[in-house]
Chains A and B, each alone.
Chain A
Amino acid sequence: MRTRIIAKLDTKPPHVVKPVHFEGLRKMGLPAEMAKKYYEQGADELIYIDIVSSLYQRDILFNEIENTANEVFIPFGVGGGVRSIEDFSKLFHVGADKVVINTYAVQEKPELINEAAQIFGSQAVVVNIEAKKWDNWYECYTDGGRVQSGKNVLEWVKEVEQRGAGEIILQSIENDGRQEGFDLELCKEVVDSVNIPVVVSSGAGKLEDIKELIEYAKPSGVAIASLLHYDKFTINEIKKHLSENGIEVSR
């Protein structure tokens, strides 16, 4: 199986921002321009998350999303502030192929996963997990790492699979934006807990980190932000490195 290399755009519209450790935001560029750049570099997918809409309880900014989707002929996952089947529907209409939910499903209405999977198909329903490490367990957080939920990550991922989610994006609150490597144990435990694809985010600081993650935890995909935004590497360079080390990736 080819491991997917995915470019992730965290946005505070109109900008792509880079949250450091889920706090403090740095402006990195405009989503449409960066999406096109990563598409041309060979990204297998794009993920666009509006990281403030849930927190501010404001409506999703559909125009921004449509502009970003426009020149990009690869799968486009969109999330941030998704609260209803109507939100799903509108997002597909502006060009999303998958919709990413987190906060609302954890806090208020996990049934939204079931409803959306039945209507749009499992493959279109992605659940984002923000995992916070405690002594001997991981807890799901919401609202960009700000709010505790009390839910155990390993139980919650099984629940969302049962409810019909088609994919999981896994973030680690400790490792996000630090570029110091992934939480390998967390990644492996989540990948091994479910039968649906898991995309790991949070932590890539060097090419070796990505290789190590894929070899150890075998995620279906790796979502990369900082490494790309700071122009440390292009997607092609990442794929080349992986491929030279015996890891299967798409061209």
Chain B
Amino acid sequence: MSNMVGVINYGIAGNIHSIKKAIEKAGGIVKIINLKEELNNIDKIVIPGVGSFKDAISELKNDGLFEPLAEAIKTKPTLGICLGMQILSSVGFEYGKTEGLCAIDAEVHSIRVEAKIPHVGFNKIDIIKPNQLLNGLEDEEFYFMHSYEVVNFHDVLSTTTYENHLFVSSIQKDNIYGVQFHPEKSREAGIKLFKNFIEL
């Protein structure tokens, strides 16, 4: 078990405080990553994210983190949360078309549903591919807060339904995981997810 978790701090928008707290509660040691050099001394990577796809990518580029991060996630176990999951994709369509980190072959589109947007609140996940990250969390509910969704058909771990609309709520490609919900805001179930991540 390697539990030094680097949480990427990019731009003005990162609410990393609550993610740090939740990882520590789960037994991890958190290092906030501001500089590319700091990516060397960690075992795992968490990419948080609030804000827009476009801003997130330009902040990563401004901070000189975009390419080093794209490289680092090829080898280190990585968890993208919400927008952090979305930017793992190849391309996003929020405020125009923006290229992402390209770790997962997917596109990010606004949620196609005739209902209130953003989708906010606790919701179930239906695990379609058993995996270590979601192990023991089959019957749990997680907190969602998003207006965009990752469209992908190959790497899906779980789906969630919002007002009859089925969307991808978690994905995995090799060592890279992404969750659309906020484990740091999902009570004990979220802490358990971070434990699973630390134990990968």
Q: Which residues of A contact B (CB under 8 A)?
A: 1-2, 4, 39, 44, 69-70, 73-76, 89, 92-97, 118-124, 166-167, 195-197, 220-221, 250-251
Contacts and interface: CB of A to CB of B under 8 A. Distances in A.
A154 to B, nearest CB: 17
B141 A197 contact: no
B25 interface: yes
Given A4-B120, A75-B143, A197-B118, A121 B13 contact: yes
Interface in B138-179: 141, 143, 145-147, 162-163
B119 to A, nearest CB: 8
A94 B117 CA distance: 26
A70 B21 contact: yes
B147 A97 contact: no
B147 A122 contact: yes
Interface in B1-58: 12-15, 17-18, 21-22, 25, 50-52, 55
- Grouping DSSP codes into helix (H, G, I), strand (E, B) and loop, the A interface class, with mixed when no group exceeds half, is loop
Contact of A250 (B14, B83, B121): B121
Contacts of B121: 1-2, 4, 44, 220-221, 250
B123 interface: yes
Contacts of B13: 92, 119-121
Contacts of A123: 50, 118, 120, 145-147
Contacts, number: 106
Nearest to A1: B163
Contacts of A1: 115-116, 121, 162-163
Contact of A75 (B115, B141, B147, B185): B185
A1 B12 CA distance: 32
A25 B1 CA distance: 52
B78 interface: no
B120 A97 contact: no
Interface SS of B by simple majority: mixed
Interface stretch (B61-69, B126-134, B186-194): B186-194
A195 B117 CA distance: 6
B139 to A, nearest CB: 9
Nearest to B14: A92
A74 B185 contact: yes
Nearest to A44: B122
B107 interface: no
A73 B22 contact: yes
Contacts of A122: 118, 147
Contact of B141 (A94, A124, A196, A251): A251
A118 B12 CA distance: 11
B120 A94 contact: no
20 contacts: A1-B121, A1-B162, A44-B121, A73-B186, A73-B188, A75-B143, A75-B145, A75-B185, A95-B21, A97-B18, A97-B145, A119-B51, A119-B55, A120-B12, A121-B13, A121-B50, A124-B15, A166-B120, A197-B118, A250-B141
B116 A74 contact: no
Nearest to A91: B15
Given A97-B185, A197-B120, 10 more contacts: A1-B162, A2-B121, A97-B15, A119-B55, A120-B50, A123-B118, A166-B147, A196-B116, A196-B117, A220-B116
